[in-house]
């Protein structure tokens, strides 16, 4: 245990703990979010598996489910008119049975347009829960009576949200929840009625999977099966991608810690060489010395794994608190997989970065006791660096699990490090040049910096990285978002209105204008599906995963005679009067990007059962943040004009209050109203939280940088002790010696801060101008924070680490060195 006092093992343990904490912190978080997403995604169907049919579904699947221990309930949906007195409204009626919803929650309240609470069960027989829009349309409230078909019902609650609401644009009508027992009384279901029957199933994954296999074999042809796992692949893949990104971010800390491990190990071995040589003369074998060291390392790995996982867990809890509001649900508890990862990381780091040095220990010749300059034979470069590279590669692969991403990240990291190292080296060199013009303490400090060049560069890179990323993220978080907001004009449309009936088009616009709104152009919206490109059916198209999803969905089509001011043609040409009636279509650049179509290609659409083929006449770049109505796919006039559809528009509208909106909803019951401000606020909040999450991960990187500093200071501790004694002998007072030390660290910190500020500014410039197309001005706060932060951080830590060195009286050290 004497070895602990020299501190190398302590730094080793610290480095390992931080590395483990960094990886497991992210690991726990990602693990829990993934589980939550899986759970939440199950809400979309209100079940794990949903069987749907236009015909009533027999009792057979329900019986089978019961037999297998799978929960089941029925649900029926139909579109019908609901009356309150003379007022009527077309409504999506959801008739449900006890047990609904099997996944997710129904939210209700006692007034419309307020925050809801989880409902207990389903509406009792004789009661209904209409949603806010429906109440506004019919002029009812809680306690009113609504007539549905031949029956009347009392409104006992307002429905705020349903888990299986359906798509957003697809909703033609408001919703109402009622008890399935009451359906016969309404006499709504007649032969020829368009009704959607469903049975919902939920249970343990294993049982559900078995049951699903049974269903696939035994279902009727008209019946359609939907599994939750297919329902939200996009959310899941986005979450996975985010998780991987966060893990990669934490890897940066791990890599820095690895360097600290290597430095400490080397120092530890260096100190032990003499002792081990002596033990060999006393008869100890190489194997013995090696095994002793290995056992010590194993013990350290265990402690680091446990401590690190503990810290990681706490970090994750803290992070969750900060991210509250991003998730609607409580995240499920994590499983123990991250712990395993933590332990593996500790072992891997030791194997890769400490073991090669340790092997040297086993190879020191006993001869060393006689001739001190005899050391172990130099290692093959392969043996020295091979394990390290292998471990790094392994860790990156473990996180990424994707060959392309692995290559991208590795090469990106290598390039980044090289660039930083080059910049760091340059800075140290320049600082060295300046030393003629400063006082003795500063000159001494800078001289030391230049002499320990490799270490200085290493530390500048280590700190620079952490501080730079933090700076860049705060630039993104604050500056960029504000810049975007300010670049938008004041009277930008803040509402979108969808599903305006064709007959009400004029009236709607008049209604808005009468209330002081500034309306935009009104465009028709027609539903259609892309079925073929150049006569090749879509299922066979060779497009990226995203493109497939994109094309297979129902598209919103429109036709327009004039090119909007916020559109610019980048390929082909817009149509003239002469082209009206020709089957021409214009695509937005995003649509072109995902499907790789060109001007001249022929696209075939299925619009309300009819096949329409059009040629791509132009590609437009759309300025979406004008918030004017814009479509990916625009037809020339005269092609699909007569197809039934609705209209949509946007407007700048500052309603006097909720009642104005209710008036609008009552007057035009089928119109869907989207509040843009609300949506943007939500988006901003999400982005904010995401950036905060990444920033938190990179805080570990700063800690890792500190550990590297600690390891470096430790390596030079003996030297520093000697030199400070030397200076004191020559007549320097304690404060002069201290100044020298502080000078060295201040310059180191300033250089790190400089590197970080430059890097963050450049990166910020690129992100703002190239990626987000926003102006980016010089931001002095970035530089101030970078330089000051770097200097303060390094000086404080460096001083703490070398304090004891400065205070030693000169004699003891000089003697010891003589």
Residues within the interface to other proteins (CB under 8 A): 439-440, 443-444, 447-448, 450-451, 719, 723, 726-736, 809-811, 814-815, 817-818
Q: Return d(Cα 448, Cα 428) in angstroms, integer.
A: 11
Instruction: Give least dist CB 737 to other proteins, A.
Output: 9
Instruction: Give least dist CB 373 to other proteins, A.
Output: 15
Please say which residue, 193 or 735, places its beta carbon nearer to other proteins. Answer: 735
Instruction: Give least dist CB 799 to other proteins, A.
Output: 19
Instruction: Give least dist CB 264 to other proteins, A.
Output: 23
Q: Cα Rg for the chain, rounded, in angstroms?
A: 35
Please say which residue, 184 or 439, places its beta carbon nearer to other proteins. Answer: 439
Please say which residue, 643 or 716, places its beta carbon nearer to other proteins. Answer: 716
Please say which residue, 282 or 730, places its beta carbon nearer to other proteins. Answer: 730
The arrangement of strands across the sheet holding 107-109 comes to: 117-118, 107-109, 158-161
Q: Which residues contact 554 (CB under 8 A, 6 or more apart)?
A: 170, 527, 528, 529
Q: Return d(Cα 585, Cα 765) in angstroms, integer.
A: 37
Please say which residue, 120 or 730, places its beta carbon nearer to other proteins. Answer: 730
Instruction: Give least dist CB 744 to other proteins, A.
Output: 10
Please say which residue, 237 or 817, places its beta carbon nearer to other proteins. Answer: 817
CA atoms within 13 A on the CB side of 596: 9
Q: Return d(Cα 23, Cα 313) in angstroms, integer.
A: 10
Closest CA to 313 of 26, 113, 37: 26
- β-sheet bridge partners, residue 197: 53, 76
Please say which residue, 223 or 723, places its beta carbon nearer to other proteins. Answer: 723
Please say which residue, 403 or 730, places its beta carbon nearer to other proteins. Answer: 730
Q: Return d(Cα 291, Cα 310) in angstroms, integer.
A: 29
Please say which residue, 121 or 439, places its beta carbon nearer to other proteins. Answer: 439
Angle between helices 355-362 and 286-322 (to 10 degrees): 160
Q: Which residues contact 763 (CB under 8 A, 6 or more apart)?
A: 468, 472
Instruction: Give least dist CB 340 to other proteins, A.
Output: 46
Find out whether the peptide bond into 723 is cis, omega within 30 degrees of 0: no
Closest CA to 599 of 582, 584, 617: 617
Q: Return d(Cα 473, Cα 249) in angstroms, integer.
A: 12
Length of the chain: 818
Q: Which residues contact 757 (CB under 8 A, 6 or more apart)?
A: 468, 471, 782, 783, 785, 786, 787
What is the full DSSP assignment across 205-222?
Answer: HHHHHHHHHHHHHH--TT
Phi, psi of 586 (to 5 degrees): -115, 135
Please say which residue, 42 or 456, places its beta carbon nearer to other proteins. Answer: 456
Structure tokens at 351: 């194997």
Q: Where are the alpha helices (DSSP H) in 182-336?
A: 183-186, 205-218, 228-231, 233-281, 286-322
Instruction: Give least dist CB 452 to other proteins, A.
Output: 8
Structure tokens at 597: 């179509």
Instruction: Give least dist CB 809 to other proteins, A.
Output: 7
Please say which residue, 577 or 815, places its beta carbon nearer to other proteins. Answer: 815
Instruction: Give least dist CB 743 to other proteins, A.
Output: 12
Instruction: Give least dist CB 723 to other proteins, A.
Output: 6
Instruction: Give least dist CB 732 to other proteins, A.
Output: 5
């Amino acid at each position: 245990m004497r070895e602990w006092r020299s501190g190398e093992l302590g730094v080793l343990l610290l480095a390992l703990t931080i590395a483990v904490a960094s990886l497991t912190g992210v690991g726990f978080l990602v693990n829990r979010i993934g589980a939550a997403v899986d759970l939440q995604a199950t809400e979309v169907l209100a079940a794990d598996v949903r069987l749907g049919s236009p015909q009533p579904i027999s009792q057979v699947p329900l019986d089978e489910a019961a037999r297998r221990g799978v929960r089941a309930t029925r649900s029926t949906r139909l579109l019908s008119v609901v009356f309150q007195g003379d007022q009527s409204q077309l409504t999506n009626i959801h008739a449900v049975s006890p047990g609904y919803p099997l996944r997710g929650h129904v939210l209700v309240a006692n007034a419309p347009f307020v925050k809801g609470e989880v409902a207990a069960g389903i509406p009792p027989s004789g009661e209904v829960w209409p949603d806010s829009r429906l109440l506004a349309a019919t002029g009812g409230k809680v306690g009113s009576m609504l007539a549905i078909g031949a029956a009347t019902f009392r409104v006992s609650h307002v429905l705020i949200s349903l888990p299986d609401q359906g798509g957003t644009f697809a909703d033609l009508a408001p919703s109402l929840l009622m008890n399935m027992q009451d359906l016969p009384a309404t006499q709504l279901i007649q032969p020829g009625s368009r009704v959607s029957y469903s049975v919902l199933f939920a249970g343990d994954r294993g049982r559900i999977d078995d049951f699903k296999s049974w269903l696939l074999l035994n279902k009727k042809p008209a019946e359609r099966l939907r599994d939750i796992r297919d329902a939200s692949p996009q959310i899941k893949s986005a979450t996975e991608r985010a998780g991987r990104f966060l893990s990669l971010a934490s890897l940066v800390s791990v890599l820095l810690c690895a360097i600290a491990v290597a430095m400490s190990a080397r120092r530890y071995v260096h100190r032990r060489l003499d002792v081990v040589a002596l033990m060999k003369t006393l008869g100890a074998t190489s194997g013995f010395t090696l095994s002793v060291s290995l056992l010590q390392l194993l013990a350290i790995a265990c402690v680091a794994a446990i401590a690190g996982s503990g810290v990681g867990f706490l970090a994750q809890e803290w992070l969750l608190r900060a991210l509250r509001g991003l998730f609607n649900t409580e995240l499920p508890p994590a499983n123990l997989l991250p712990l395993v990862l933590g332990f593996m990381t500790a072992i891997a780091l030791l194997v890769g970065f400490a073991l090669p040095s340790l092997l040297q220990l086993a190879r020191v010749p006993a001869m060393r006791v006689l001739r001190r300059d005899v050391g172990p034979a130099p290692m093959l470069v392969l043996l020295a660096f091979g394990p390290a590279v292998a471990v790094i590669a392994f860790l990156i692969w473990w996180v990424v699990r994707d060959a392309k991403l692995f290559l991208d990240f590795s090469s990106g990291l290598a390039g980044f490090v090289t660039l930083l190292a080059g910049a760091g080296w340059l800075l140290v060199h320049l600082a060295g040049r300046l030393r003629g013009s400063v006082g003795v303490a500063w000159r001494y400090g800078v001289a030391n910096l230049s002499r320990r060049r490799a270490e200085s560069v290493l530390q500048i890179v280590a700190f620079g990285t952490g501080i730079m990323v933090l700076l860049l993220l705060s630039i993104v978080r604050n500056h960029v978002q504000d810049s975007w907001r300010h670049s938008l004009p004041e009277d930008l449309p803040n509402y979108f209105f969808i599903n305006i009936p064709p007959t009400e088009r004029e009236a709607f616009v008049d209604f808005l204008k009468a209330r002081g709104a500034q309306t935009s152009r009104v465009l028709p919206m027609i539903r259609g599906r892309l079925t073929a490109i150049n006569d090749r059916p879509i299922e066979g198209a060779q497009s990226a995963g995203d493109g497939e999803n994109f094309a297979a969905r129902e598209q919103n089509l429109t036709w327009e005679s004039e090119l909007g001011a916020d559109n610019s043609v980048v390929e082909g040409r817009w149509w003239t009067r002469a082209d009206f009636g020709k089957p021409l279509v214009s695509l937005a650049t995003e649509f072109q990007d995902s499907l790789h179509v060109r001007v001249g290609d022929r696209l075939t659409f299925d619009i309300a059962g009819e096949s329409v083929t059009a040629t791509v006449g132009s590609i437009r770049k759309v300025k979406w943040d004008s918030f004017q109505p814009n479509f990916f796919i625009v037809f020339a006039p005269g092609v699909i004009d007569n197809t039934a559809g609705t209209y949509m528009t946007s407007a700048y509208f500052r309603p006097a209050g909720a009642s104005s909106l209710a008036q609008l909803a009552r007057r035009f019951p089928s119109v869907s109203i989207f509040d843009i401000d609300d949506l943007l606020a939500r988006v901003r909040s999400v982005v904010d939280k995401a950036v905060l999450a990444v920033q938190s991960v990179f805080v570990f990187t700063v800690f890792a940088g500190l550990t590297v500093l600690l390891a470096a200071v430790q390596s030079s501790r003996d030297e520093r002790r000697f030199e400070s004694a030397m200076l004191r002998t020559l007549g320097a007072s304690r404060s002069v010696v201290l100044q020298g030390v502080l000078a060295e660290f201040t310059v180191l910190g300033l250089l790190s801060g400089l590197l970080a500020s430059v890097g963050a500014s450049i990166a910020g410039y690129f992100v703002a101008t190239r990626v987000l197309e926003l102006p980016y001005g010089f931001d002095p706060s970035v530089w101030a924070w970078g330089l000051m932060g770097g200097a303060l951080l390094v000086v404080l830590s460096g001083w703490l680490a070398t304090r004891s060195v400065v205070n030693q009286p000169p004699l003891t050290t000089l003697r010891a060195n003589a």
